[in-house]
Amino acid sequence: MAGWFWKRSNPADPSHKEETPESGILDVPWRELRWGDKQKDLKYVQEYKPAKKGIRYLRVLLYGPVGAGKSSFINSVSNVMRGRITIPALASATTADKSFTRQYKTHKFIKGRGESKTFYPLVFNDIMGLEDGEKNGVCDKDIELALEGHVKEGYEFNPTSPLNKSKYNMSPSADDKIHVLVCVMSANASQVKPSVLEKMKRVRETASDLGIPQMAILTHIDDACGETEKDLRNVYKSKHLKKKMKDLSASVGIPLNCIFPVKNYSEKIDLNDDVDFLILSALKKMVDFGDDFLEKI
């Protein structure tokens, strides 16, 4: 858990910590990427269709601490899929300690225009962030219910009590259920509180019991590493981000090869191929994992 202590230093900031990141960059990236070649992965995710009979959607659920970048990731995926900046999931304008997202919502991405308009079969569910304390943030029990498709669309999360009967979907279809669970963590966050990690652990255990594949994305890589902020292609050369990914793997028990660093579109007004490329690497894995699961159910 020690790895979640460090925030990019600002000595004027009262929360400034003395720990320094492992600085510097490696000569050779520790994961090889074909930068500049996003079209293959884009085509792959845009053309994906579940082959399983009766399944319309491959459904991904994002969860993680408040402000980690869950909603921003959904917006980023929407931008990449549609090839332009879009605003489907409202993200917070600042990093706050209270969750900005409060409703359970499915985000579908529009494909085509006018009369030929449909949706991609890859959909994302966004939820309220996890917070410290039993009466703050989303109840982990609600996330567990969402995994099995029991949470109705539009449900307004109540931190002080889990889902009530009126918003409980008694008979979820196979595509109301979650097919991939994605943990979202910020590379630039202060230490994640043990109580939050404990809630995350309970969610993971339920997902494991259900056989739902799990992976993680590490957001805010631009905020957390100056070299990566300068040039996103340094992401797998950054010693600091490598350590962050290893710490994330150790703290949430997800193998390193299932963790993907991404920079979300949060302030840019134009798309960028390198930003898209990292998002697509994560997205492709979500499609592969989800499809494997669909084939099994």
Ligand X SMILES: Nc1nc2c(ncn2[C@@H]2O[C@H](COP(=O)(O)OP(=O)(O)OP(=O)(O)O)[C@@H](O)[C@H]2O)c(=O)[nH]1
- By the criterion CB under 6 A, which residues form the site for ligand X? 66-72, 91-95, 99-101, 128-129, 219-220, 222-223, 263-264, 266
CB-based closest residue to ligand X: 129
- CB 185 within 8 Å of CB 65: yes
Least Å distance between CB 100 and ligand X? Answer: 4
Q: How far is the CB of 125 from Mg ion (least distance, A)?
A: 11
Nearer to ligand X, 223 or 227 (CB): 223
Q: How far is the CB of 71 from Mg ion (least distance, A)?
A: 3
Minimal distance, residue 7 CB to ligand X, in Å: 13
Pick between residue 35 and residue 100 the one whose CB is nearest to ligand X. Answer: 100
Partner from Mg ion, ligand X, none binding residue 204, C-beta < 5-8 Å depending on class: none
**Which one of ligand X, Mg ion, none interacts with residue 68, CB within 5 to 8 A by kind?**
ligand X
Name the amino acid, one letter, at 173: S
In the bound complex, what is the minimum distance in angstroms from residue 128's beta carbon to ligand X?
6
Which phi and psi (to 5°) does residue 255 adopt? Answer: -60, 150
Of residues 101 and 251, the one with the C-beta less far from Mg ion:
101
Query: How many CB atoms are closer than 10 A to CB 96?
Result: 11
Given ligand X, Mg ion, none, residue 220, with its beta carbon under 5 to 8 Å by kind, binds ligand X
Q: Which listed option, ligand X, Mg ion, none, makes contact with residue 166 (CB within 5 to 8 Å by class)?
A: none
- 269 contact choice in Mg ion, ligand X, none (CB below 5 to 8 Å, kind-dependent): none
Looking at the Cβ atoms of 25 and 183, the one nearer to Mg ion is: 183
Instruction: Mark residues 70-109: x for contact with Mg ion by CB under 5 A, - for none.
Output: xx-----------------------------x--------
72 Cβ contact partners less than 8 Å away, ≥ 6 residues apart: 89, 91, 219, 264, 265, 266
Instruction: Tell me, by CB under 5 A, how many residues bind Mg ion.
Output: 3
Nearer to ligand X, 91 or 181 (CB): 91
Task: List residues near Mg ion by CB under 5 A.
Answer: 70-71, 101
